[in-house]
């Protein structure tokens, strides 16, 4: 008993078992507050004091595990089982979030509480950090390439070889312009199980101007089953190969002219045999200016008419017309330049016609493209999954604005089969490949590609500002029955100031 206003005492409960109770009596004639009594060792008044009696109970002890780091291996969350905290005998322990819970990528605090038999508690805490080691990133912040009709290779790496993941990659203008310094590019890089590295090609344009080094921006975005961590924004620096002001235009060189067509229409570096063949058709003219001019026109037109373009870039325009009523001859409804470039590169990725295995690569690319479209919310809204095969096919042809032959309709319905995603994708491709649609779209698409390929812009972009130029050339092409040479359309574009101005004076 303490019987003084000035005497203080400290009671050591450290060695007392949890749950041990101590009754302390303090007297000064008028009673005392429980707050006047302190007890080290974690004991605290339990609120049962009466007057000048204070009851203390020794709380349970609890020890938490150390902070924990878990590997999500590219997923956005992972189930974490952590070791249980240790507590004094007779105490029960509960933790939140509990062991075995799903933890999202990031750091989550865990609080654990030990409770003894008489309801006294003690708490401790630790953290669970979930890391995604399936990080995808550029291998460098800058990639150098010397100017020329060539390409820069950008490498993207992921840190975890397990599972499938993907990331979008795209170029944008830095100090370099996509019209005359490089080819605009964007695609999705997909890492299959076991793959840790992917490459992305930035096509570089040969031109005659003295401009010094210029840069192209590279950006990673939209990671799937992984995260973007590390360098996600970088540059390609194009080192100038011109030192004196030009007196001629490099596009007049046969080899450069042909190489640039591979970039502009097929979105790839030329294969050696194709480059040599088309260059030879021009150089074989010797010094005959008229022969050279005609050879350049014929070579240029051949790129649009080639099997490779017809089944990649032109395929995209046909599929878009069927799926979303994008009409090349309608400024308000046509498939715009930038998304077109993305999709054409997706369908043409890895395709080099006449190289072994190209048919399988092309078929896989086209299937992936139409599957992506038929599973999109926009497409499903237009073509509900409840549609029967015949109704679905009829709606596709209606969207395309063409009347199919009996055989074309039957082929598309057969392709639909039992339906589902596979059937809907197959029917979409069947309609896009129909001769009726090819004939309806070929001339509008030919004129559109004069703008997309040669001028690298929409027909309504400056300097036009309206669709008059496109409509003029479409009318002229139609009047010559689709013969671009007789309509002098190709000639007009490849000799235009705008086209030639991409490469030199």
Q: What percent of the chain has pLDDT over 90?
A: 79
Residue 220: pLDDT over 80: yes
| Whole-angstrom distance, CA of residue 354 vs CA of residue 308 | 9
Which is more confidently placed, 58 or 445?
Answer: 445
**What stretch(es) of the chain map to CATH 2.60.40.2030?**
134-247
Q: How many angstroms separate the Cα of 485 from the Cα of each of 101, 309, 459, 476, 489?
A: 69, 18, 20, 11, 7
| Least confidently predicted of 60-74, 197-211, 238-252, 491-505 | 60-74
Protein fold of 134-247: Immunoglobulin-like (2.60.40)
Closest listed residue to residue 80, CA positions, set 129, 123, 124, 125: 129
Q: What is the pLDDT of residues 111-164, one digit of tens each?
A: 999 998 888 899 999 999 987 778 899 999 999 999 999 999 999 999 888 888
Q: What percent of the chain has pLDDT over 70?
A: 88
Q: What is the pLDDT of residues 317-367, one digit of tens each?
A: 999 999 999 999 999 999 999 999 999 999 999 999 999 999 999 999 999
Secondary structure class of 59 (helix, strand, coil):
coil
Residue 489: pLDDT over 70: yes
Task: Please list, in sequence order, all residues whose beta carbon lies within 8 angstroms of the beta carbon of residue 424, skipping any fewer than 6 positions away.
Answer: 374, 383, 385, 392, 416
Q: What angle, rounded to 10 degrees, do the helices at 389-400 and 313-324 form?
A: 110
pLDDT at 163: 84
Residues 364-377: what's their mean pLDDT?
A: 97
Q: What is the pLDDT of residues 171-205, one digit of tens each?
A: 999 999 999 999 999 999 999 989 999 999 999 99
Q: What is the pLDDT of residues 386-433, one digit of tens each?
A: 999 999 999 999 999 999 999 999 999 999 999 999 999 999 999 999
Tokens of 117: 């038999």
| Least confidently predicted of 95-99, 101-105, 171-175 | 101-105
- C-alpha count within 13 angstroms, C-beta hemisphere, residue 261: 28
pLDDT at 227: 84
| Whole-angstrom distance, CA of residue 469 vs CA of residue 213 | 35
**What stretch(es) of the chain map to CATH 2.60.40.10?**
62-131
Residue 376: pLDDT over 70: yes
Protein fold of 62-131: Immunoglobulin-like (2.60.40)
Residues 468-479: what's their mean pLDDT?
A: 98
pTM: 0.75
* Dihedral in degrees, nearest 10, Cα atoms 429, 399, 345, 487: 110
């Amino acid at each position: 008993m303490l019987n003084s206003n000035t005497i203080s005492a400290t009671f050591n409960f450290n060695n007392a078992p949890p749950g041990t109770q101590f009754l302390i009596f303090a007297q000064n004639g008028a009673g005392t507050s429980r707050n006047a009594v302190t007890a080290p060792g974690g004991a605290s008044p339990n609120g049962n004091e009466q007057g000048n009696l204070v009851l203390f109970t020794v709380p349970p002890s609890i020890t938490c595990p150390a902070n924990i780091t878990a590997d999500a291996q590219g997923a956005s969350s992972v189930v974490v089982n952590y070791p249980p905290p240790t507590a004094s005998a007779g105490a029960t322990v509960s933790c939140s979030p509990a062991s075995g819970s799903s933890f999202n990528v990031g750091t989550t605090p865990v609080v654990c509480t030990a409770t003894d038999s008489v309801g006294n508690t003690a708490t401790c805490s630790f953290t669970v950090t979930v890391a995604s080691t399936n990080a995808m990133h550029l291998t460098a912040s800058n990639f150098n390439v010397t100017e020329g009709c060539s390409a820069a290779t950008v490498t993207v790496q992921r840190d975890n070889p397990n599972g499938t993941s993907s990331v979008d990659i795209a170029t944008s203008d830095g100090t370099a312009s996509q019209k005359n310094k490089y080819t605009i590019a964007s695609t999705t890089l997909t890492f299959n199980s076991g793959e840790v590295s992917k490459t992305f090609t930035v096509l570089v344009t040969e031109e005659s101007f003295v401009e010094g080094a210029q840069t192209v921006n590279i950006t990673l975005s939209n990671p799937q089953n992984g995260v973007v961590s590390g360098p996600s924004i970088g540059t390609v620096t194009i080192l100038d190969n011109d030192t004196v002001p030009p007196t001629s235009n490099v596009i007049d060189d046969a080899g450069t002219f042909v190489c640039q067509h591979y970039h502009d229409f097929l979105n790839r570096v030329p294969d050696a045999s194709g480059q040599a063949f088309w260059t030879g058709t021009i150089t074989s003219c010797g010094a005959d200016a008229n022969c050279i001019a005609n050879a350049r026109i014929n070579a240029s037109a051949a790129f649009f008419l080639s099997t490779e373009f017809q089944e990649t870039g032109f395929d995209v325009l046909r599929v878009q017309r069927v799926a979303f009523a994008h009409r090349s001859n309608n400024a308000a409804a046509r498939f715009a330049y930038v998304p077109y470039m993305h999709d054409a590169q997706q369908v043409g990725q890895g395709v080099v016609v006449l190289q072994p295995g190209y048919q399988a690569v092309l078929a896989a690319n086209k299937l992936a493209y139409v599957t992506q479209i038929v599973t999109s919310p926009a497409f499903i809204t237009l073509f509900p999954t409840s549609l029967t095969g015949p109704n679905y096919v009829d709606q596709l042809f209606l969207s395309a604005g063409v009347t199919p032959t009996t055989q074309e309709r039957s082929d598309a319905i057969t392709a639909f089969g039992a339906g589902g995603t596979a059937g809907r994708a197959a029917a979409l491709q069947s309609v896009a490949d129909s001769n009726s649609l090819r004939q309806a779209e070929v001339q509008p698409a030919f004129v559109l590609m004069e703008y997309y390929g040669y001028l690298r812009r929409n027909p309504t972009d400056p300097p036009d500002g309206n669709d008059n130029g496109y409509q003029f050339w479409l009318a002229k092409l139609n009047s010559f029955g689709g013969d671009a040479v007789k309509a002098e359309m190709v000639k007009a574009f490849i000799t235009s100031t705008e086209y030639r101005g991409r490469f030199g004076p």
